[in-house]
Structures are given as C-alpha cells and as structure tokens.
A and B are shown apart, each in its own frame.
Chain A
C-alpha cells in the first residue's frame, strides 16, 4: 500500500474550518484514501474515505485532487472536541484487510478557543 505524508501539527480556531492535507503521490488506482482520528489515547475512529470523488458525511468532507496524489480533510466548523491526531491512510480494498495499512504519525490538530 502507498504511504502518506502529513504535516506533524496544525492549529485551528474554534468555529473555523480545519483543512488537513495529505500527500499520497504513489497511490495506485485500486487504493482508497481513508481518514481516522485518535482523540487523546483512545482507539482511532473512522471518519471518512473515498476513491476519487469528493465525499461528505456528518463528520467531515474529503476532497481528493484529480490526479489523486493528494487530499484534504475538511472539518467545517471545528470544535474543541475535534482536537486529536488525524491519520490519512491508503488502502486497497482488494487486499482483504488492514494488514498492509500503515498508520503513520498523523497530524496533531489543536483547536484553539
């Protein structure tokens, strides 16, 4: 599975949109982009995933560039509870599981009051 690159940390003012970038320049055609977050030392929590079209759910939006080499997770109105480490991963659904997925160090998002 392709690896990803994320900034180590970001700040965002409460109520503003948080835009978290991810680079996955070696992504292959079968690989999806997934985002998870880990609040403090809890277990990671799934947020959203996509292949090439932009996706939106109740938690966030995912914008994937046309060449699929990068993506941005958008939290439209960040709250203090969104302070967490955000992981961008790529995963081939045909691989059958998460055994080839690399959870790197992610981006630590600090939402500031």
Chain B
C-alpha cells in the first residue's frame, strides 16, 4: 500500500459543485500539505498543517478549504468549483525528523 493515498485519482465535476479531495497517510508524519500543479507550472502550495489543530494558508488558498480530521487525514475542499481549478492536485507529508517529503499519486480534477 502507498504511504500517501489520495482519493479520488480522477474526477470530473460541474461548475458550482462542491467537491472534496481526500488524503491519508501511514507515515505517522505530523506535517501535511496540499499542492496544485498546472501545465507548465511548478507545484503551488494551497494549504498546510503541522498538526490537527494547526491549519495554515499557502500561496493560493482562495477558493479552497481544508480539514485535518486526524493526524493521518487531510482533506481539501472546493466549495464551489470553477473551471480554472482544473488541475493536478497533490498531497504530501513530512516530519521534523525525516527530511524528505512524501507525495501522493495525485488527483486529476476537471471542472466543466
């Protein structure tokens, strides 16, 4: 099983719909992140969380919200999806001891 699991892997949704992307990890890491990747662009940070009670906005948080339900679970929500939120979304984890970040396999979201 993957260390960082994202669901769904692919999703097509309509403009105005609410959608949730889920991320779970088995690494035991306290830090979790949501990124977005658009063609020709790098990864941009949406939100990050250092523990269940710590949620922080990243570079491009407008239009998104998150929930850290447990140490192992970090969900990203689009309250009212719009076409320019069509992108590849990645969840990642890290901790204070292990210096590398672990990424999920990504969720390809299309908003029509």
Residue from the set A41, A45, A97, A99 with the largest chain B CB neighbour count within 10 Å? A97
B: number of interface residues (CB 8 Å): 27
Contact of B41 among A36, A93, A105 (CB under 8 A): A105
Contact of B4 among A34, A43, A87, A99 (CB under 8 A): A43
A43 and B31 contact, CB distance less than 8 A = no
Is B66 in the interface zone, CB < 8 Å from A? Answer: no
Q: In the bound complex, how far is the Cα of B14 from the Cα of A20, in angstroms?
A: 41
Contact partners of A34 in chain B: CB under 8 A: 100
Contact of A99 among B45, B96, B102 (CB under 8 A): B45
Q: Mark B26-62, 1 if CB is under 8 A from A, else 0.
A: 0000010101000011110100101000001010000
- Given A98-B31, A104-B42, also A43-B94 (CB < 8 A): no
B31 and A103 contact, CB distance less than 8 A = no
**CB under 8 Å from chain B, chain A span 12-54:** 32, 34, 36, 41-46, 49
Contact partners of A32 in chain B: CB under 8 A: 99
A98 and B104 contact, CB distance less than 8 A = no
Q: Mark B92-108, 1 if CB is under 8 A from A, else 0.
A: 10101001111111101
- Given A49-B100, A103-B43, A105-B42, also A41-B33 (CB < 8 A): no
Chain A residue at minimum C-beta to C-beta distance from B96? A96
Contact partners of B103 in chain A: CB under 8 A: 43-45
Contact of B42 among A41, A87, A96, A97 (CB under 8 A): A87
Q: In the bound complex, how far is the Cα of B105 from the Cα of A45, in angstroms?
A: 10
Contact of A102 among B42, B90, B108 (CB under 8 A): B42
Contact partners of A98 in chain B: CB under 8 A: 31, 33, 45, 48, 92, 94, 101
* Top 8 A-B residue pairs of the complex, sorted by shortest distance between their CB atoms: A43-B103, A46-B100, A103-B43, A103-B42, A104-B42, A97-B31, A99-B48, A44-B103
Complex A-B: 18 CB contacts under 8 Å: A41-B108, A43-B90, A43-B92, A43-B105, A43-B106, A44-B43, A44-B103, A45-B103, A46-B100, A91-B99, A96-B31, A96-B50, A97-B94, A98-B33, A98-B92, A99-B56, A102-B42, A104-B42
